[in-house]
């Protein structure tokens, strides 16, 4: 594959102005050592790929699944799941899927595909029940029932019960509908591996690891009929043919600088402010999130969706997350309505000067936090041990505002601005109306009860910062345009026969910023579309 920087060419060889060279198909690979045959080829074994492999195999298709790394890749543990008996048992009330999807469309600037999101929302509950059911003996922690021990037991917990949205009060609309696998191991890897084993147990699956997909194969009609992969340990090529096509589930491109710079310069140009998490790498130590599926799909005619492409880029302020206390930037200025979920907070922080942000509150913080809006990255209750150790997890303390600012060690002009902004904030809080940013009055807490505290938060990437957590960039979440059946579309929005895209290779889901409307939506869409796509292909074989 050519590196970025040059121009792409069209079918006649003419340069396409403004298109980087990585969008041009490389020369066909011809040194094929071996050819394999199956009904379906699944490329990538993350949440989406494992789900698709199991679903297709259980529905009678023979599947060859290829994965660049040495084993399936599991991340995190939260999944949006609702409108089933299991979800109701867990205390999650039914969700109106049209209301949910309409809010997600608003959050994504109406750039997403309503049909893609609605198909997920209508089926995520049944898909989760199926996915969770792969693990024998999995427990479900019913609210008010027996409490399980996360250190020794595998169970599903109800992970975010949010207070109902109040129009005119809450700044962001969020929905309750998230379940989480709680296990002795980080994330939900035991559950994923159980699903992978379910797929193998059908006898319909051959899994090949250390296998990096390089090019798709088409027939004379343009139908996608297979994939060529490279054994990353030997460099040898194998062609895998699928009579029913190919499912691309290779993830995003967060580790590909060329793609990141081209599609998300607002992330690439600020890379030093992020810690890039999930370092999945192959046996050679090369990162796997390279956009392979998106590029391969494009080279055979698939349409890469228009931007702005989306990254999952979180931000929080440590022990109290993004609780809506007063926030000041590096210049000492208030810069935002603080009543935000963590993705939107992270987006705002990136647009501030310098590398520091401050969160300030007074001695009544433990009671005040109970008035915050429930949401991703926000807290509405603090454990007693957190409250008691406040001196340990804050950056500065003072018995007066002046002492607090002095203990932060800022420059004289920043100190003066901070003092003026705190006075203004206290004035607005006493007035009961945030005339500057419109935050609801019930979360405008004046700094008036000593001692006063501040968290100094450094906006810089890497581990081991001497203040507080940096921004995290997890994955990219935009890709090939598809219809609601995950069939990849060409430049004219027509189905490209034989090609499917799911997980972070699938477009139409998130554009701009990842919306925190519903925690666990990303995982849930990947899992649900794997489940649905395997069934769809089998039913239409």
| pLDDT, position 297 | 98
Q: Which residue is listed with tokens 């769809």?
A: 536
CA distance 500 to 249: 9
Mean pLDDT of 309-325: 84
pLDDT band, very low/low/confident/very high, at 276 (cuts 50, 70, 90): confident
Angle made by CA atoms 194, 197, 202, in degrees to the nearest 5 = 135
- What is the tens place of the pLDDT at every residue in 64-85? 999 999 999 988 889 999 999 9
Is 192 strand, coil or helix? Answer: helix
| pLDDT, position 186 | 67
Mean pLDDT of 237-261: 97
| pLDDT, position 399 | 98
CA distance 403 to 444: 22
> Above 70 in pLDDT, residue 233?
yes
Counting beta carbons within 10 angstroms of the beta carbon of residue 220, is it exposed (0 to 12), middle (13 to 18) or buried (19 or more)? exposed
> Above 50 in pLDDT, residue 12?
no
The Cβ of residue 414 has, within 10 Å, a number of other Cβ atoms equal to: 21
Higher pLDDT, 467 or 198: 198
Integer Rg of the chain from CA: 25
Q: How many CA atoms lie within 13 A of 100 on its CB side?
A: 25
Counting beta carbons within 10 angstroms of the beta carbon of residue 409, is it exposed (0 to 12), middle (13 to 18) or buried (19 or more)? exposed
The Cβ of residue 312 has, within 10 Å, a number of other Cβ atoms equal to: 22
Mean pLDDT of 224-236: 98
Lowest-confidence region among 62-76, 369-383, 513-527: 369-383
Taking a C-beta distance cutoff of 8 angstroms, is the pair 506, 479 a contact?
yes
- What is the tens place of the pLDDT at every residue in 326-335? 999 999 999 9
Predicted structure pTM score: 0.92
| pLDDT, position 271 | 85
pLDDT band, very low/low/confident/very high, at 260 (cuts 50, 70, 90): very high
- For 5, phi and psi rounded to 5 degrees? 120, -35
Q: Which residue is listed with tokens 């300030």?
A: 360
- What is the tens place of the pLDDT at every residue in 442-461? 999 999 999 999 999 887 76
| pLDDT, position 466 | 42
CA distance 322 to 340: 7
- What is the tens place of the pLDDT at every residue in 377-433? 778 889 999 999 999 999 999 999 999 999 999 999 999 999 999 999 999 999 999
pLDDT band, very low/low/confident/very high, at 4 (cuts 50, 70, 90): very low
Closest CA to 112 of 268, 298, 120: 120
The Cβ of residue 246 has, within 10 Å, a number of other Cβ atoms equal to: 28
| pLDDT, position 461 | 62
- What is the tens place of the pLDDT at every residue in 125-181? 999 999 999 999 999 998 888 889 888 888 998 867 777 888 888 888 889 999 999
| pLDDT, position 200 | 98
- What is the tens place of the pLDDT at every residue in 451-487? 999 999 887 765 444 444 568 888 999 999 999 999 9
Mean pLDDT of 16-39: 89
Mean pLDDT of 327-350: 90
Greatest alpha-carbon span in the chain:
78
Lowest-confidence region among 80-94, 226-240, 466-480: 466-480
Q: Cβ neighbours of residue 192 under 8 Å, at least 6 residues apart? A: 47, 50, 72, 74
Higher pLDDT, 277 or 216: 216
**265, containing H or E segment:** helix 265-268
> Above 50 in pLDDT, residue 96?
yes
The Cβ of residue 413 has, within 10 Å, a number of other Cβ atoms equal to: 10
Q: Calculate what percentage of the chain has a pLDDT beyond 90.
A: 73
CA distance 493 to 488: 9
CA distance 43 to 187: 22
CA distance 135 to 154: 9
| pLDDT, position 149 | 87
| pLDDT, position 7 | 44
Lowest-confidence region among 14-23, 259-268, 337-346: 14-23
Cα separation of the two ends of the chain: 33
């Amino acid at each position: 594959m050519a590196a970025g920087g040059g121009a792409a060419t069209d079918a006649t060889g003419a340069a396409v102005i403004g298109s980087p060279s990585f969008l041009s198909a490389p020369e066909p690979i011809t040194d094929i050592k071996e050819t394999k045959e199956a009904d379906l080829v699944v490329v990538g074994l993350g949440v989406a790929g494992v789900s698709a492999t199991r679903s297709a195999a259980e529905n009678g298709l023979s599947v060859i699944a290829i994965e660049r790394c040495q084993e399936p890749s599991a991340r995190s543990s939260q999944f949006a799941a609702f409108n089933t008996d299991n979800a109701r048992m867990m205390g999650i009330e039914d969700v109106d899927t049209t209301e949910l999807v309409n809010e997600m469309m608003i959050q994504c600037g109406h750039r997403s595909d309503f049909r893609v999101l609605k198909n997920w929302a209508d089926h995520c509950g049944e898909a989760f029940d199926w996915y969770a059911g792969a693990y024998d003996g999995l427990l479900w922690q019913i609210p008010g029932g027996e409490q399980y021990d996360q250190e020794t037991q595998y169970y599903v917990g109800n992970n975010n019960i949010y207070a109902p949205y109040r129009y005119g009060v809450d700044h962001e609309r969020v929905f309750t509908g998230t379940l989480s696998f709680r296990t002795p191991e980080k994330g939900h890897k035991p559950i994923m591996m159980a699903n992978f084993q379910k797929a193998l147990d059908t006898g319909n699956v051959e899994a090949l690891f250390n296998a990096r997909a390089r090019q798709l194969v088409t027939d004379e009609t343009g139908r996608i009929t297979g994939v060529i992969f490279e054994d990353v340990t030997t460099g040898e090529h194998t062609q895998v043919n699928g009579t029913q096509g190919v499912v691309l589930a290779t993830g995003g491109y967060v580790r590909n600088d060329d793609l990141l710079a081209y599609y998300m310069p607002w992330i690439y140009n600020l890379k030093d402010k992020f810690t890039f998490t999930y370092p999945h790498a192959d046996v050679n130590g090369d990162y796997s999130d390279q956009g392979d599926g998106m590029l391969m799909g494009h080279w055979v005619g698939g349409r890469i969706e228009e931007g702005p492409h989306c990254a999952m880029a979180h931000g929080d302020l440590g022990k109290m997350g993004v609780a809506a206390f007063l926030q000041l930037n590096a210049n000492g200025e208030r810069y935002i309505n603080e009543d935000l979920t963590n993705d939107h907070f992270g987006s705002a922080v990136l647009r501030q000067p310098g590398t520091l942000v401050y969160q300030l509150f007074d001695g009544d913080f433990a009671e005040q936090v109970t008035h915050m809006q429930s949401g991703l990255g926000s807290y509405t209750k603090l454990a007693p041990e957190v409250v008691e150790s406040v001196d340990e997890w804050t950056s500065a303390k003072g018995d007066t505002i002046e002492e607090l600012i002095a203990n932060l060690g800022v420059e004289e002009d920043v100190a003066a601005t901070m003092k003026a902004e705190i006075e203004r904030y206290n004035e607005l809080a006493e007035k009961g109306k945030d005339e500057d940013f419109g935050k609801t009055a019930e979360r405008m807490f004046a700094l008036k009860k000593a001692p006063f505290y501040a968290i100094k938060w450094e906006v810089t990437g890497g581990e081991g910062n001497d203040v507080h957590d940096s921004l995290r960039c997890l994955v990219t979440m935009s890709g090939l345009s598809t219809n609601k059946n995950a069939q990849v579309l060409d430049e004219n929005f027509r189905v490209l026969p034989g090609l499917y895209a799911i997980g972070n290779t699938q477009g139409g889901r998130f554009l701009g910023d990842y919306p925190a409307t519903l925690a666990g939506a990303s995982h849930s869409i990947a899992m649900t579309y794997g489940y649905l796509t395997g069934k769809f292909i089998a039913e239409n074989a």
